Amino acid sequence: MPRTSSERTRRQILDAAYESFYQKGFGRSSVDEIALMAKVTKRTLYNHFGSKDSLLAAVLELQRELSPARIQKHQERYVGNSERFVSVLFEELRRWSEKPRWAGSGITRLALELADLPGHPARLVARRHKAEYQEWMAGMLRRAGTSRATRQARELQLLLEGASILMLISGDRSYADTAATLARRLLSA
């Protein structure tokens, strides 16, 4: 929790930027609008973050830091054999996708939006986040007794990301079920 006035202001800006980037994307979010949402001046925003690019990287870094706590809060649901793990994983994806105004993973969408900028600081944060998530899945698969956990976590991540993107494009939530079926086949092979 932010303690000083400066930390509180920084967090207000990060929260407003997250909301704007998640709803509109990086390109359609303006610094003026983010400053207004954060109830700060544009100058204050730039005093905390030198550019819109560094603001985006900071937003993603904060989300990356918060992500393990969100996952661990419900980790007991994932414990069991690998089939249970996969079932819960894709069930959660489907449940998440049914929320109003669902827009998929903000980190994935923003990384795709910056696809032509491979050195962008936000892309580096997104890469770290996805690697950490994949390692978490590998750890859970190891816990479930899977011998090829690292490879299978990579395959699961591919299915999760692909299902999410196709669900966003088509509006068809059944891609989560199709991906879950394929994941079970991969794990049993």
C-alpha of 96 from chain center? 12
Q: Identify the pLDDT of residue 17.
A: 94
> Could you give the CA distance from residue 163 to residue 68 in angstroms, rounded to a whole number?
22
1-50 CATH: 1.10.10.60
Mean pLDDT of the chain: 89
Provide CB contacts within 8 A for 139, sequence distance 6+.
149
Mean pLDDT of 103-112: 85
Residue located via tokens 């006035």: 5
Encoded tokens for 102: 């669902």
Buried b / exposed e over 92-117, threshold 16 CB at 10 Å, is bbbeebeeeeeebbbbbbbbebbeee
56-188 CATH: 1.10.357.10
The predicted-structure confidence for 161-178, as pLDDT tens digits, reads as follows 999 999 999 999 999 999
Range with the poorest average pLDDT among 25-39, 43-57, 65-79: 65-79
Tell which wins on pLDDT, 117 or 14: 14
User: Which burial class, exposed, middle or buried, applies to 168 when counting CB atoms under 10 A from its CB (0-12, 13-18, 19+)?
Assistant: middle
> Could you give the CA distance from residue 177 to residue 189 in angstroms, rounded to a whole number?
19
Q: Is the pLDDT of residue 106 over 90?
A: no
Q: Identify the pLDDT of residue 93.
A: 92
The predicted-structure confidence for 115-142, as pLDDT tens digits, reads as follows 898 888 888 888 988 999 999 999 999 9
> Could you give the CA distance from residue 175 to residue 166 in angstroms, rounded to a whole number?
7
The domain limits of the chain are: 1-50, 56-188
Share of the chain above pLDDT 90, in %: 50
Q: Identify the pLDDT of residue 74.
A: 64
Contact 129, 64 (CB under 8 A): yes
Q: Identify the pLDDT of residue 161.
A: 95
Closest CA to 156 of 125, 130, 123: 130
Contact 183, 90 (CB under 8 A): yes
- At 56, is the secondary structure helix, strand, or coil? helix
Mean pLDDT of 56-60: 89
The one-letter amino acid at 7: E
